[in-house]
A and B are shown apart, each in its own frame.
Chain A
Amino acid sequence: MPVNKNKNMQALTNRAKEVNRKPMSFMESLYLPAIFKGMAITFSHIFKKQPTIQYPEQKRPFSPVFRGLHVLNRDEEGREKCTACGLCAVACPAEAITMEAAERLPGEENKYREEKYAAKYEINMLRCIFCGLCEEACPKDAIYLSETFAPANFTRKGFIYGKPDLLIPDPKTDPEGYEKAKGRNEPTTADN
């Protein structure tokens, strides 16, 4: 413990060490022993396991609570679940979500589950903070956060995701894409 010159000041931790300012001994001033020691350390690193993940080929598994890009969900028959109630937009602290509702017309029962649906549904990914409150607010389980990142884009407009970007693939016409987009409990992203 160093002696505090100022009696009023208290050391924050007991880890402080006094700096050694003794002149170097002859062996130290030769540098060579220290250099050889250092070289032995670096040489031993040749045989250490590399923590590198070859990114595009290998991916790190996500945590089960990871909150990535949003997905607009469908039910098993491929109908959109969203009823455009606007609760997600209200819940959103970053005000990233806008939507326009429309009424389901006769003959569209196979496309939309409820009588009202979102004709337009946009999330501004630059505003979104990926908090997941929209997922919690949704009474219809229509929106949830997936396990993917928002990819880079050249324009700000490119970050405003509309319905085509957000909707999950139809489980009837594209079951594979549906499963992949669902993502949960799947080892697709965990190669190592």
Chain B
Amino acid sequence: MTLLSIDWILLIEKLVLIAIIVFASLGIALYTTFAERKVAAVLQDRPGPNRAGPFGLFQPFADGLKLIMKEEIIPNTANKFLFILGPGLAMTAALMTCAVIPWSSHVELFDRTIDLQVADINIGILYIFGVVSLGVYGIMIGGWASNNKFSLMAALRGASQAISYELAMGMALIAVLMLSGSLSLRTIVDQQMEAGRLWNIAYQPLGFLIFFICAMAECNRTPFDLPEAENELNFGYHQEYSSMKLGFYLFAEYVNMIMSSAVMASLYFGGFDIPFVDEQHLVATNVLSQNVVALLGVLMLLVKIAIFIFVFMWIRWTIPRFRYDQLMNLGWKKLIPLALVNMLITGAVILWLGK
């Protein structure tokens, strides 16, 4: 009987957690669009949006309202079902990633220990890779259903780009997994938090660089924004989209950016670890309560995500888009061999140190 009974409180706890994380990601994504415009402006000696509300802080709401109010156009020749499915899939895939990211250690509420993670599955990394690959379907389906040659070209580009860079990304990741010996994100973060151990970036600088470049390519950010390519493919796979369906595509890109930043922070920069502070010691000596430490951890992770997002934007507004052959050369001829070499060296060093 106990096997079949459901822990209702656990269910509620997880549902609340999911709601918080999804809405928080959407809210952060909303303000990431604003941050993008501000960062772009500042890097180009402009003030950026500053009319809507103080410092233009209501700008994202104005943008959202505009997108919702616009007329929704579905082309006559488009496949209606897939046309609507595309943006939904892109958004879902983007949001699904956040399920396995450990946002912080755990809080103690109502005599319960609540892990600040939706699901601590032991193959968290594989899950992320699976979901990220699903994200390509959003682009593919959207581009194909539009029945427009530019959209289709962009979708093909997007698909081939994602496939090429996922390989290098995965191989860069294997080196980290060799260090940690676990596929669970929480275990990887916990290991980095251990006293006397540095963050993974110290052991895997090359791996991080490869991972970072591939993450950028997976998010379709400049210089890898060939699927959007405003000036060659007039807006690429979302050319035929209007209104909030377009908004979903644009939004999914920002959610993707946040999630890949969170993954990078967890894998290489200690996740919710506060640098130079031993959290466990603080709790044990009753300096701070567990809940406060956990919240500080969430804050720390958000700060790391914000830094990554800034770097993403900084790169976007610095370098132009790759040519398609350059993109493929970089992916297949440079990043994959580099990732392989990195893997070999890591393996050799682990063997040599006899870990």
Contacts and interface: CB of A to CB of B under 8 A. Distances in A.
B45 interface: yes
B42 A38 contact: no
Contacts of A29: 334
A51 B45 contact: yes
Contacts of B46: 50, 52
B260 to A, nearest CB: 19
Contacts, number: 34
Identify which of A42, A45, A49, A51 gathers the most chain B CB atoms within 10 Å of its CB.
A42
A30 B329 CA distance: 11
A35 B45 contact: no
A51 B334 CA distance: 42
B284 interface: no
B61 interface: no
B44 interface: yes
Contacts of B315: 35, 39
B123 interface: no
B315 to A, nearest CB: 7
A154 interface: no
B319 A46 contact: no
Contacts of B314: 39, 42-43
B47 A35 contact: no
B337 to A, nearest CB: 13
A130 B46 CA distance: 32
Contacts of A51: 45
Contacts of A54: 47
B127 interface: no
A42 B318 contact: yes
A83 to B, nearest CB: 48
B43 interface: yes
Contacts of B319: 35, 38
Given A38-B318, A38-B319, A39-B314, A46 B47 contact: no
A7 interface: no
Contacts of A157: none
Interface string A10-47: 00000000000000000001110001001101110110
Size class of the contact patch on chain B: 10 to 19
Contact of A45 (B45, B47, B330): B45
A93 to B, nearest CB: 40
B235 interface: no
Interface string B328-349: 0010001000000000000000
B31 interface: no
A52 B43 contact: no
A29 B42 CA distance: 30
A50 B317 contact: no
A156 interface: no
B47 A50 contact: yes
Nearest to B316: A42
B35 to A, nearest CB: 14
A30 B43 CA distance: 25
Contacts of B47: 50, 52, 54
A48 interface: yes
Contacts of B317: 42
B43 A42 contact: yes
Nearest to B47: A52
B215 to A, nearest CB: 16
Contacts of A41: 318
Q: Which 9 A-B pairs have the closest CB atoms?
A: A42-B318, A38-B318, A42-B43, A39-B318, A52-B47, A50-B45, A48-B45, A46-B42, A45-B43
Given A35-B318, A45-B42, 4 more contacts: A38-B318, A43-B314, A50-B45, A52-B45
20 contacts: A29-B334, A30-B334, A35-B318, A38-B318, A38-B319, A42-B43, A42-B317, A42-B318, A43-B43, A45-B42, A45-B43, A45-B44, A46-B42, A46-B43, A48-B45, A50-B45, A50-B46, A52-B45, A52-B46, A54-B47
